[in-house]
Structure 1
Amino acid sequence: MGFGFYLGVTLLLSVWATSKCDRVPSGVHMECRDRHFMIAIDLSFAGSEPHFEAVDRTGAYTITEQYAAECGYSLMVLPLLGHVELRASYFSCHTDNKADELFTFNFNLLVNHEGKPVTHALNKTCSPSLRWSPREVTCEVNYMEVSVRREVACVSETNKDVWNAAFKPAYSSFPSPWQVMFQKDGELLTPMNLSDARKQGYVINLTDGRLVLRTAYGQPESFSVEVNGVPVELVHATLLSRQSWLVFMVDLVVACSMHEGLFDRGYIMWETPEALYPSLDSTQISVGLNGELMMQSVAEERGYIVDNRNTTVHISIPYNADGGYRKSLVSGELYEYYILHLYVEQTSQKKDNIDTRLRFHGTLVTPLLLHPVFTENRTVLEDHTFTVYLGDVPEDVKLAAVHVNGHLTNASVHTIVKVVQPNNTHGYTLKVPFDDPVVIQQFSKENATLLYRLDIDYTLTVEPENNTFYHVASVTALTDISPPAFYGLCYESGIGFKLDHRPFDYLWEISVGTDLLTSELAAQHGYILSNDSQSLLLNVPLFTHGYQYSNVTLKGFFATFEILVRDRETSAVQSSTVKTCPFPTTELIMCSTDGRMTAVVDLSLAILSGGSPGRTSLIDNKCGPKEADGTRALFSFPVSSCGSIIKLAKEYVTYENEIFFSQKLPFKKNPVDSNHDEDGIKLQCTYPLAGLHRLFSVYKFESDTIGIGRIVHPEHFTEGSQSTTTELTTMPTTRRITRPVSLRLAYHPPAQYFKVSRFLKKLSKKGPVPS
């Protein structure tokens, strides 16, 4: 009959030495219901072994499982409600009954507090909120009980032949007290007196106004029948008493539906025959949980369905209805089952009066339902972090451990956050960065993708049993593989680059031009290189190898540096990072690969007072400055034009030109040597012969490298300065640059001199003049 278990007491009262406490503790709740008295004790207060005793004038009686069924008590643990519950019938054995209107209950609650036994005396007086019906039937979880009014001597539906058969032994006997005779399968059993019946587990009580019969389920005198396919347990007893020539006979019948419930499509269904106690008019049904009935409209709102089909009452309740109890169970996988403590009232009416009131207390249990938890990959690629959600974890299941790719993790290593959901479940969010060492990375060069994989093993436990089960999940994140990308910055002294390392960056190599960027190359060209496990930093000082310059004016110029990313296997350029930065100018010279000389020259020491740099020219006086201010002049011309002189050496060729001033405003003369009137400031570009594709070509100048430039100031223009020459490998540094420049060309052997201006004029008739 139903699901549940009962708490019994096995120790005798004499053995249980206790201290007495009459004050009702805060963990105890007592309530009078329609037909029973209820005591609820918080599990936190009751402990693991609470015991009850029923108390009356004759003493205290331990409520064991058997005694509870015989005397009208039911005791059960309701974990969802968080308490132990005792229900006592108004006609229970040790209740003080006054005229069936006042019922006084006295119990001892025995608990163990801090290792010491303590007894709490509990008492309550109740009055029924409803008037008694002619017949009241209670189908409890562990017993059946029927009470009828004492003036009811017989009932019309009883077979007359059975009455006649019962009357004969009663009439033929001597005057006797009350006896009981049971009927089973249509046969009358031997009568027994009430004391013998009590020994057999039957309690028959005569109150001021009612006759009561109570018995546990499964007694030998009970029998089972099916009514419209619904199993019913029935006990039919007849009370007999002969007083002189009168025979008193009272028919007592108690019948209860033994339907254990069905589970179908999310509902727990329970059935009972409508005609257990036939009525002339109609039957009404009220339903609820945990001993409390609810209005029909409220039940319908909560999804309850009550209907009558073929004289059978069908009650369907959502398996997860409020007031039910849910429990997790591990059997290889995670399962769950739901327990509903059903309470049904069935009233049969005759001519607008309630003839029979039946109350059913039962426990309905669903079968084991698979309850899979789930994982959801909530990773956002741009965050470069795995975000995995473990969801639908029941409230009695806790996360015990997480293994990520075989490594035990916790909140201090990776982020694990508990998330509470409104449906009495919860979840956990796990965050693991892509670059975490535990993350598995798989590269696909063919598809240009990188796969991150996280194999997660969750260990969960069901409380309070601490049964363990595991949930395994694997999540991946796929990203496209792109070549490394540098971030460039402009500094006062040059250009800087930064690259944050990625695990797959080894698929590429980095170069400056055709040269791989190594620590040796950096040392050779004066770069500042720093490379660790996190990032690569490259600082390229201005005017070192690899720069390109443009938009040179007296105010400034632009310098550009490019870093190439190449495929490691094919050396093909995959991407590049180009950074261009502006820099101010004071004095510089540039010798480009296409044979153009560009120079900004400081003439402040070379002109007489009142002179203007704008009136200077090169050897060919038609070649004046492109731009000039009060002290400087900008010249830009092909190296083989404007009267340039070519100096050939064994390995180098030098193009030289000279800046002159108008004869009306001559350069300053050396006071010691007056023969320097024609001395000018020399501009030189030197190229290695091995890198020149054409020499003296009027069509095109090509060089593999830029030339080495010099601006040579005559000594008598420097006014005591130790340095008379500005010499640079690519372009001269401005006066803001303090880093020394190392020269590749340290030796210049004697050279032959060529005046090329006339030579170029003759060749210009045959083709275009180089620009």
Structure 2
Amino acid sequence: MSFVTNHLVSLILFFFFPPGRALKTACLGSVMRLTVDKSLAFGSQIEFDAINGSQNLPLTPSLAVKCGFSVNSDPWGNTNVFASVLNCFAGNENDREFDIDMRVRVRGINKAEQDVFEVKKSCSYNQWAPREILCDRNYMEVSVNRLPGEITALKTQPKMPKDQMFGTDTLSEAITSRYNIWRMVFFTPKQKAMVLEDALNTGYGVTTTRSRLVLRSGFDMPETYVEHVNGVPMKFIRVTTYFKKQWSVTMLDTVAACPTGGLVFTDELITWNFPRFNPLMSSADSKILGMVMGMDGEQIDSAQMAAKGYSLTTTDTFIVMTLPIGGPDGYYKSHIVNGQYHIRYTIEPMLEILWSEGGFDSTRYKVLFPIKTPFMPRPPQAVDYTNVDQRVFDVLLGTFLHDVQLVNITFSTGVLTVAEANARGFNVQEHRFQNGSKAFRLQVPFSDTVVVTTQSGLVAMVYTLPLIFGFMILPEYTPFSYPASVTVTLQDIILPTLSGACDKERFHIMISNGNLGKNFNIMLGTSDLTPERQAEYDVKENGTHILLAVPFLASDVAFELMYPSSLRARLDVLLWDPVKKWSLSDFSLACNFPMTMTECFSNGSMSALAVKVESVSQLVPSQLTLTDPLCKPKFSNDRFAYFSFDANSCGTTRTFYDGVLMYQNEISMGDERPVSLQAKKGVPSSPPYQQYRVTVSCFYKRNDTQTIAFFTKPRESEPLPETGFGELQVILRLAMGGSYRNFYVEQDFPVGRYLREPLFFEVELLQSTDPQIELGLENCWATLKPDRSTTPRWDLIVDGCVSLADSYETVFHPVTPDGVHFPSHMKRFEIKMFAFVQENIILKDQMFVHCDAVLCDINQTNGICKRQCSSPIPLKTAKKVRRDAENDQFQRAQLSSGKIVFSSS
């Protein structure tokens, strides 16, 4: 096959150069150099031919080795061809004038036609040493001028035509006979004899000129061998050529050796050590007469060497050449090693030495020595320039050499070419730097579907852009890839919110989805909203909101209290993430709905409706009865019991009041015996006993029928408060925590708290050591303003007991003797932070807490300080004993806290 070089250089503008400028030749001593500029080779396929008279012989690798040619190319597409002036096809005039003709064929990759350029070059070289050795990149050549006398006599003959020069198969026999080459003995180092024809067929180049014998061998020929000279490996070829003339034989020894090593690399420097004395020097008195260095076969002077940082020195053992890595005469090339990006620096220095053998014969030794540094890892770095404000990922990946081209990018959704990525709206750019390197920049908006989003916590979103950059190294088209990923975490999640209102029949709930869409479950009461109930609740959705209309008698609604003509019901709504089990938003809405509980008919019959309320969780409506246990509900289910009975039955009582007749009955549990709270050791105790009583009354006046409603009956008569006497000096303080160890002082207010965060208050009697005095709290409430008499107002403690109107009840904390001298002088309670709301709008983000405190005699058996507060009951709150201040027989202290502010974040 032919020597072929392919050149595709991306992103370089092509300007056509005439062949005279694109093809350059130079005579460099014993070699000729042909340079093909990249302008001619751009995007093309180049082939070279040697011209032998009328023949055009393609320069195959084997022919190049045999006949003295070498070819090399750089990544930019420049190509050099080196030809020995003693090559097989050179016209030779007395070993002084040499004519070298070649053809350059250029074919575009997609073209069937080709452009052909002929190159003719004449070189003069008359400084032949008795022995010349040339080491090229693919062969070694030795020529000597000691030929038999009759051959030397041929010098006077005219210049030989090219078709008669040695090197073609048709003339090998004639030339062999003409020059009397009998046989050749190769030393490997063992002897191996060949006739000339066998040596030529093996691939050796053997030719003679008017005065010289030329032997040429490839480095991998079977008769070559390696010797280490002062630690430097060198490839040797040794041949003795026998010339036969009638009854006499003449021997001619030829030897060539070329270095294949001797290199030492650091991060910045190449050191090439060439043995100062080597087996080519047959005499111990060998003396170096001169040495020069060059680049790409061309000598350079000392000024050029100094300017480029080169040096050529000698030691006792070596001739030392140093070259800085990255110098201008070499180039870097990209490579992939084990899937990773590496670079390598290549330079081709020349070393030429002239030495004498004992003061007589001399040897000129020329080495064209291509050097490649070890692979240097250069892993690219991804620099994150992401602009959070503009919500755009910005990644710069580099650096790379000029021969790397970005081909495509693999995103989470698939692969896009650079053109497709830019067409999609991404921004993919190539950045070039002054030193010739490059980097690639990619910009992708957060909102694109190739960005992977993951929620982290309730309000944080993680944006991740996973990438795989696909590259190509030119001109070899070597693919490789580099993975990268950039991540940004932003607290930009808007959680869904809930709001609602009531009409006479339904709860109307509105859900705002936030900025994540509908990705949550809706829990009503204690169970998730099912598709079946969506139709029942008239669920309506759009892209941003969800509306529900829930009847107040629906199973998801909790009943809190019964009133004479209404029912207080509550709907609890929770939005939660089914994957991470996060609570996203919750909302409770309680309203009074009109509902007839008792009806009195003119025919003397009565009806009553009993409702199971939340505070009596164990109630079974079917087990309710009237006063007569045999009178059971006409209808019941798990939440209601309906009674219908005559006024003179079921234990109904009758009472007259000034012309008004009252019929009265009572609905209660069928079995109201207290449940024992005692339990054996290791056996859980039974749940506390719950009472349920509803009094039903009908009043008849003349012929009118009228419903008067019902009310709850207290479990026991409440004690009346008694008066305690003494000087009342008390203080109200807000504690920093439930340990009641540290308290806020006046300078700390206002104090900020989150919604439903606990507030711990302490009321203490000061400057009293009387153990017979007990401190009591009669009433505590919260207002929007500092004035304790303003509205709106929310009761926290009423008549010494927690307010049952609050779903988040006030909690009293016991006062232990630890660190407290008089526990009876102190009261501690806890409330949940709240805000005053009107029509779902916070009136103001602040509140003040007020209390009325009293002193009691610890020996009293009734009064505020001894008040026994009942548990919450499902009906109307039991009536509490209230008195006006002027009728009380004890002093009150009016206490107020500082401002407490509602914090939303």
TM-score, normalised to structure 2, is: 0.44
Distance 1:296 1:379, change over 3 A: farther
Match of 1:454 in 2: 465
Amino acid corresponding to residue 127 of structure 1 in structure 2: S
Deviation at 1:72, TM superposition (A): 1.5
Aligned pairs (5 A) from 1:683-698: none
1:371 maps to 2:378: yes
Deviation at 1:390, TM superposition (A): 1.3
Amino acid corresponding to residue 143 of structure 2 in structure 1: S
SS at match of 2:66: helix
SS at match of 1:116: coil
Of 350, 368, 386, the match for 1:344: 350
Amino acid corresponding to residue 82 of structure 1 in structure 2: G
Distance 1:318 1:704, change over 3 A: same
Distance 1:450 1:222, change over 3 A: closer
- Name the CA distance, whole Å, in 2 between partners of 1:400 and 1:8: 25
- Name the CA distance, whole Å, in 1 between partners of 2:253 and 2:338: 54
Deviation at 1:462, TM superposition (A): 3.3
Aligned pairs (5 A) from 1:366-405: 366-405=373-412
- Name the CA distance, whole Å, in 2 between partners of 1:24 and 1:438: 50
Aligned pairs (5 A) from 1:110-509: 110-112=105-107, 114-116=111-113, 119-128=116-125, 131-150=127-146, 177-179=180-182, 181-182=184-185, 184=187, 190=193, 192=195, 197-241=199-243, 249-259=251-261, 265=267, 270-276=272-278, 277-278=280-281, 280-282=286-288, 286-296=292-302, 298-299=304-305, 302=308, 304=310, 308=314, 311-315=317-321, 317-318=323-324, 320-330=326-336, 333-338=339-344, 340=346, 342-350=348-356, 355-406=362-413, 410-412=421-423, 413-434=425-446, 439=451, 451-464=462-475, 466-478=477-489
- Name the CA distance, whole Å, in 2 between partners of 1:175 and 1:532: 101
Aligned pairs (5 A) from 1:628-639: none
Deviation at 1:61, TM superposition (A): 3.8
- Name the CA distance, whole Å, in 2 between partners of 1:7 and 1:379: 49
- Name the CA distance, whole Å, in 1 between partners of 2:94 and 2:492: 91
Distance 1:379 1:321, change over 3 A: same
Distance 1:254 1:152, change over 3 A: farther
Distance 1:360 1:701, change over 3 A: same
* Superposed CA offset, 1:350-374 (max 9, x none): 4999933222224444454443222
1:101 maps to 2:96: yes
Q: Are 1:483 and 1:505, in contact at CA under 8 Å, matched by a contact in 2?
A: no
Distance 1:355 1:456, change over 3 A: same
Distance 1:393 1:217, change over 3 A: closer
Deviation at 1:7, TM superposition (A): 1.0
Q: Are 1:378 and 1:389, in contact at CA under 8 Å, matched by a contact in 2?
A: yes
Percent identity of equivalent pairs: 24
- Name the CA distance, whole Å, in 2 between partners of 1:483 and 1:51: 68
SS at match of 1:146: strand
Amino acid corresponding to residue 177 of structure 1 in structure 2: N
Distance 1:27 1:103, change over 3 A: same
Aligned pairs (5 A) from 1:510-659: none
Match of 1:35 in 2: 30
1:66 maps to 2:65: no
Deviation at 1:138, TM superposition (A): 0.3
Distance 1:354 1:402, change over 3 A: farther
Deviation at 1:40, TM superposition (A): 2.8
Distance 1:136 1:386, change over 3 A: same
Distance 1:436 1:106, change over 3 A: closer
Amino acid corresponding to residue 235 of structure 1 in structure 2: I
- Name the CA distance, whole Å, in 1 between partners of 2:374 and 2:2: 22
Q: Are 2:406 and 2:469, in contact at CA under 8 Å, matched by a contact in 1?
A: yes
Distance 1:354 1:478, change over 3 A: farther
- Name the CA distance, whole Å, in 2 between partners of 1:191 and 1:700: 126
Q: Are 2:271 and 2:323, in contact at CA under 8 Å, matched by a contact in 1?
A: yes
Aligned pairs (5 A) from 1:79-98: 79-98=74-93
Deviation at 1:468, TM superposition (A): 3.9
SS at match of 1:411: helix
SS at match of 1:93: coil
Distance 1:454 1:115, change over 3 A: closer
* Superposed CA offset, 1:34-81 (max 9, x none): 22122233567467654433334474444332222222222x341425
Q: Are 2:188 and 2:238, in contact at CA under 8 Å, matched by a contact in 1?
A: no
* Superposed CA offset, 1:221-248 (max 9, x none): 4433221222222233345557699875
Distance 1:704 1:411, change over 3 A: same
Distance 1:467 1:143, change over 3 A: closer
SS at match of 1:132: coil
- Name the CA distance, whole Å, in 2 between partners of 1:400 and 1:186: 53
Q: Are 1:434 and 1:452, in contact at CA under 8 Å, matched by a contact in 2?
A: yes
Deviation at 1:443, TM superposition (A): 6.2
Amino acid corresponding to residue 255 of structure 2 in structure 1: V
- Name the CA distance, whole Å, in 2 between partners of 1:438 and 1:59: 62
Distance 1:369 1:126, change over 3 A: same
Q: Are 1:345 and 1:357, in contact at CA under 8 Å, matched by a contact in 2?
A: no
- Name the CA distance, whole Å, in 2 between partners of 1:197 and 1:457: 55
Distance 1:335 1:480, change over 3 A: closer
Distance 1:144 1:467, change over 3 A: closer
- Name the CA distance, whole Å, in 2 between partners of 1:700 and 1:177: 135
Q: Are 1:146 and 1:253, in contact at CA under 8 Å, matched by a contact in 2?
A: yes
Deviation at 1:136, TM superposition (A): 1.9
- Name the CA distance, whole Å, in 1 between partners of 2:379 and 2:194: 58
Between Structure 1 and Structure 2, how many residues are aligned?
Answer: 467
Distance 1:234 1:6, change over 3 A: farther
Deviation at 1:144, TM superposition (A): 1.6
Q: Are 1:145 and 1:215, in contact at CA under 8 Å, matched by a contact in 2?
A: yes
- Name the CA distance, whole Å, in 1 between partners of 2:480 and 2:53: 54
Deviation at 1:139, TM superposition (A): 0.9
Distance 1:315 1:105, change over 3 A: same
Deviation at 1:146, TM superposition (A): 1.8
Match of 1:751 in 2: none
Deviation at 1:324, TM superposition (A): 3.6
* Superposed CA offset, 1:515-569 (max 9, x none): xxxxxxxxxxxxxxxx999xxxxxxxxxxxxxxxxxxxxxxxxxxxxxxxxx996
Distance 1:702 1:152, change over 3 A: farther
- Name the CA distance, whole Å, in 2 between partners of 1:81 and 1:461: 15
- Name the CA distance, whole Å, in 1 between partners of 2:131 and 2:248: 24
Distance 1:70 1:398, change over 3 A: closer
SS at match of 1:82: coil
- Name the CA distance, whole Å, in 2 between partners of 1:471 and 1:330: 11
Distance 1:355 1:470, change over 3 A: same
- Name the CA distance, whole Å, in 1 between partners of 2:414 and 2:127: 69
Deviation at 1:89, TM superposition (A): 0.7
Distance 1:700 1:261, change over 3 A: closer
